[in-house]
Amino acid sequence: MFEITGKQQLAEEIIEYTIQAPDVVRHHEPGQFCIIRVASHGERIPLSIADTDIQAGTITVVVQIMGHSTQELAQLGVGDAILDVLGPLGHPTDIGTPDRAVFVGGGVGAPAGNLIVGQMKQAGAEVLAIIGFRTRDLVIYEERIRAQADELIVTTDDGSYGYHGLVTEPLQQRLEAGSEYDVVVTVGPVVMMRAVAEVTRPYGIHTIASLNPIMVDGTGMCGACRVTVGGETKFACVDGPEFDAHQVDFDELLQRLAIYSQQEQQAEEAGPHPCQLEQQIGKMQ
Amino acid sequence: MKLEPIPMPEANASDRRAGFGEVNQGYTEELAHAEAERCLQCKNEPCRAGCPVDVDIPAFIELIRAGKHTQAGLKIKETNAFPAICGRVCPQEQQCQAECVLAKQDKPINIGYLERFAGDYLIDNPPVQVERPEASGYKVAVVGSGPAGLAAAGDLAKRGHQVTVFEALHRPGGVLVYGIPEFRLPNVTVDHEVDALGQLGVEIRTNVVVGRTLTVDDLRQQMGFDAIFLALGAGAPIFLGLDGENLPGVMSANEFLTRVNLMRAFDEDYDTPVQRGRNVTVIGGGNVAMDSSRAAVRLGAESVKLLYRRTRAEMPARIEEVRHAEEEGVLFEFLVAPTRFLADEGRLAAVECLRMELGEPDESGRRRPVPIPGSEFTVETDQAIVAVGARVNPSARLIVPGMEQDGKGHIIVDPETLMTSIPGVFAGGDVVGGEETVIEALSHGRRAAAAIDKYLRGSC
Ligand SMILES: Cc1cc2nc3c(=O)[nH]c(=O)nc-3n(C[C@H](O)[C@H](O)[C@H](O)COP(=O)(O)OP(=O)(O)OC[C@H]3O[C@@H](n4cnc5c(N)ncnc54)[C@H](O)[C@@H]3O)c2cc1C
Ligand SMILES: Cc1cc2nc3c(=O)[nH]c(=O)nc-3n(C[C@H](O)[C@H](O)[C@H](O)COP(=O)(O)OP(=O)(O)OC[C@H]3O[C@@H](n4cnc5c(N)ncnc54)[C@H](O)[C@@H]3O)c2cc1C
Ligand code: SF4
Ligand code: SF4
Ligand code: FES
């Protein structure tokens, strides 16, 4: 059992949990994820690791309450235990040794920037971070990322805070103005990551996207998480989750993410749940 | 007639289609005695030669006949730790029963059914616990909790070693719990065997991927394990590499069966979803294909069609499984190979196939299927389950840097001791290749345990 030692509501339907999981922390590196199972009848839920505390033996995850399983997680508070936590899974982020690096995060993908920007700084890079949200109330992890990045741009779709527009716009403007970057790492909704890849493609900037396909075991045993990268099938849980964004077949990923959407909607006892990620995606298209 | 084999009582096929309850109901005492009565107690014991772990078959059958069921179970356990499991899943018709003298008249003793009877009897009537042996002072780590890992853990514990089993998934048992469905091997039967290991002092730690959560260096240096047994299985699904294979609606048998068995998607009290196809196509001809087809029937498919590229005679599945699948309404199409998956509105709609004919024998001695040009046809389907095999997980390479593996990823071991190229690290079961059966995995586990014991006691 894995005890919850911290819980904080960061925004509507977004909760940060700190969980006692000393084995997961020991070898964790930025970019890796974990899989949790709340209770014995529960699904295995993959979640990025937003922070770790080696001394305390804890991991921090930021969860968007999407459907049945994340709602069930939301019922738990400090002192409660999570049945299973498995990790760290996947490859660490491989950014090389860039001089100038960009992190682009969207929604619940923004917190991943906490560790990734940290890693970029450690590699000696000058870091621009751009994090985007639908509206002011949903802005999360701003301070933690600002504290590490050389420059932070926050965007909102509705202009209620920061830059009015999508995360790709400030990036595009910098590139058009002649800024040069060695690497861009992007984490967030699939449609956003696809857009980031399109913006950097003409400039030939190495762009890494952290993919979030449906997973079951997370150990390479089922193939539910397969994605096409450069024309080849890869298992995101063991070959990824990060891939060269210019090679990823994002349309296929979107298609595969919707495989269970009908059944999941039926699982919502209280009628269809407003799925925020999909709303966000709708907006961005 | 006295010599007729006693059939296994089975749930009837139409009831079976509606649920995941076990098909084979097990012999009653009476039936077991009647079957045991048929055994000729052959002095030269030909049946034993067919058993990979040399179960003393005549002896345990005689004990059943004499009504000494506990002793019968314990007799099997002298060489096979899991009679309730192997009695259910061994390919007996190719092993012990093939060598039985009565096989010549097509009436071999139902050794598997009797073994299951004795195994279940021990589970229902557990004998008084034997005392734990004196502690050896050595610690052994077992990685993977399939039959190879569990068998090794039991034998090592019985020799006094302190054993910890590390398992990546949240439930121990390997393929026995995530792959083989309830209607063939209930997960609680596996749980009993795992619990019995607990009584021997074996510790099982789930949610640990060795290579990620813990490294082999951690195990040896920080945690002080003196030897390691890698029983990782060969669990990575093989896909066909065809166009359209990543369409929604196409999945590996491992994904399908894991959702159904490990995650229990057939039970509405569990949250994990599984696609319930209407017209399901299963590609393959082994046990995995049979299990997938039969699970799809039970999830409510209107039709389940199994496509196999050779003929019935070459199908590697257990004969009983093939018969059960047919009884449950699975349709078999032989000499057919898929060529691509076709979509309608972004979802699987059909499989395009080619007809095959049998040509020259291949390296396995089976005649190779050869496509017949121009024989294309399509099968309409909304769910395709690919059951064409599995291989060693490529991430096994992470576990012990520098350990020798062959081109297929199998860990190379000394055939006698099962030691890998790294001293003190042993491997067995599907991860080293071979027959890829439960009983062979178990046999590897036992041999590795004996070799590890020797290694530990000889080394200081
Ligand atoms: C590597 C990885 C990292 C992730 N990191 C985070 C994170 O840090 N924070 C966060 O809030 N979410 C993260 N996710 C997504 C998260 O796992 C899903 O939102 C969650 O499983 C939804 O479960 P649910 O039952 O509440 O919703 P559901 O009603 O089951 O699903 C809602 C939608 O979520 C997606 N989804 C469902 N099941 C899965 C699954 N097993 N894996 C991936 N997507 C799924 C589907 O698109 C679905 O339509 C990550 C996913 C992956 C693969
Ligand atoms: C659907 C299906 C039906 C089958 N039917 C039959 C049958 O009827 N009869 C028969 O004899 N055989 C059958 N087989 C084959 C048989 O199940 C296998 O040969 C046998 O289970 C192999 O045992 P194993 O111990 O080597 O590995 P597995 O049973 O595969 O177990 C390996 C375990 O190791 C774990 N693991 C892997 N890597 C790590 C890691 N790095 N860290 C921690 N844990 C790890 C895995 O999660 C898994 O639990 C079937 C197989 C399948 C898939
Ligand atoms: S272990 Fe398998 S092969 Fe051996 S006697 Fe039992 S059923 Fe037959
Ligand atoms: S060969 Fe058949 S009849 Fe003879 S001892 Fe073995 S099981 Fe009995
Ligand atoms: S989640 Fe099963 S292989 Fe990746």
Alpha carbon B419 to chain centroid, angstroms: 23
Q: How many CB atoms lie within 10 A of CB B404?
A: 12
CA distance B82 to B89: 11
Q: Which pLDDT score, from 0 to 100, does residue A280 have?
A: 42
Cis peptide before B338 (omega within 30 of 0): no
| pLDDT tens per residue, range B311-340 | 998 899 989 999 999 999 999 999 999 999
Q: Which pLDDT score, from 0 to 100, does residue B80 have?
A: 96
Average pLDDT of the residues in B150-154: 97
Question: Residue A119, exposed/middle/buried by CB under 10 A (0-12, 13-18, 19+)?
Answer: buried
Q: Do A86 and B170 touch (CB under 8 A)?
A: yes
Residue B311, classed as helix, strand or coil, is coil
CA of B235 from ligand 2 middle (Å) equals: 7
Say what angle helices B147-158 and B187-199 make with each other, to 10 degrees: 20
CA distance B15 to B60: 34
Structural tokens at position B418: 């099962």
Q: Which residue has the tokens 């209407």?
A: B278
CA distances A35 to A24, A267, A282, B452, Å, are 10, 21, 27, 33
Q: Which residue has the tokens 């121009």?
A: B374
Residue B246's closest chain A neighbor by CA? A226
Number of the ligand 1 atom closest to the C-alpha atom of A68: 25
Q: Do A41 and B168 touch (CB under 8 A)?
A: no
Q: For B365, list phi and psi in degrees, rounded to 5.
A: 85, -10
Chain B contact probe: residue of A217, A225, A233, A249 with most B CBs at under 10 A: A217
- Whether ligand 5 lies within 6 angstroms of the CB of A224 is answered as yes
Q: Which pLDDT score, from 0 to 100, does residue B458 have?
A: 86
CA distance A156 to A106: 10
**Mean pLDDT, contiguous 10-residue spans, chain A (285 residues):** 95 96 94 95 95 96 93 95 96 94 96 96 96 96 96 96 95 95 97 97 97 96 97 96 98 93 63 41 40
Q: Which pLDDT score, from 0 to 100, does residue A209 have?
A: 98
| pLDDT tens per residue, range B27-51 | 999 999 999 999 999 999 999 999 9
Q: Tell me which residues of chain B, numbers 126 to 185, contact chain A at a CB-CB cutoff of 8 Å.
A: 168-170, 178
- Whether ligand 2 lies within 6 angstroms of the CB of B164 is answered as no
Number of the ligand 4 atom closest to the C-alpha atom of B99: 1
Describe the strand order of the beta sheet including B162-166 as a list of residue ranges: B203-205, B162-166, B139-143, B227-230, B425-427
Average pLDDT over chain B, rounded to an integer: 94
Interchain contact A266–B (C-beta under 8 A): no
Chain A contact probe: residue of B170, B187, B283 with most A CBs at under 10 A: B170
| pLDDT tens per residue, range B377-412 | 999 999 999 999 999 999 888 898 899 999 999 999
Say what angle helices B111-124 and B29-38 make with each other, to 10 degrees: 140
E-assigned strand segments in B286-412:
303-308, 331-334, 336-344, 347-361, 367-371, 377-380, 383-386, 390-391
pLDDT surpassing 70 at residue B460:
no
Question: Residue B363, exposed/middle/buried by CB under 10 A (0-12, 13-18, 19+)?
Answer: exposed
Q: Name the band, by pLDDT with cuts 50, 70 and 90, for residue B286.
A: very high
Structural tokens at position B199: 């009584």
Q: Which pLDDT score, from 0 to 100, does residue A283 have?
A: 40
- Whether ligand 4 lies within 6 angstroms of the CB of B42 is answered as yes
Residue B367, classed as helix, strand or coil, is strand
Q: Which pLDDT score, from 0 to 100, does residue B3 have?
A: 77
Q: Which pLDDT score, from 0 to 100, does residue B2 have?
A: 54
Nearest-by-Cβ selection for B271 from A69, A89, A219: A69
Q: Which pLDDT score, from 0 to 100, does residue A265 have?
A: 66
E-assigned strand segments in A111-216:
126-133, 151-156, 163-164, 183-187, 206-210
pTM of the model: 0.94
Interchain contact B89–A (C-beta under 8 A): no
Q: Do B394 and A238 touch (CB under 8 A)?
A: yes
Q: Name the band, by pLDDT with cuts 50, 70 and 90, for residue B459.
A: low
Within 8 A by CB and 6+ apart from A30, the residues are: A92, A93, A115, A116, A118, A119
Q: Do B213 and A41 touch (CB under 8 A)?
A: no
Cis peptide before A241 (omega within 30 of 0): yes
In angstroms, what separates the C-alpha of A232 from chain B's closest C-alpha? 9
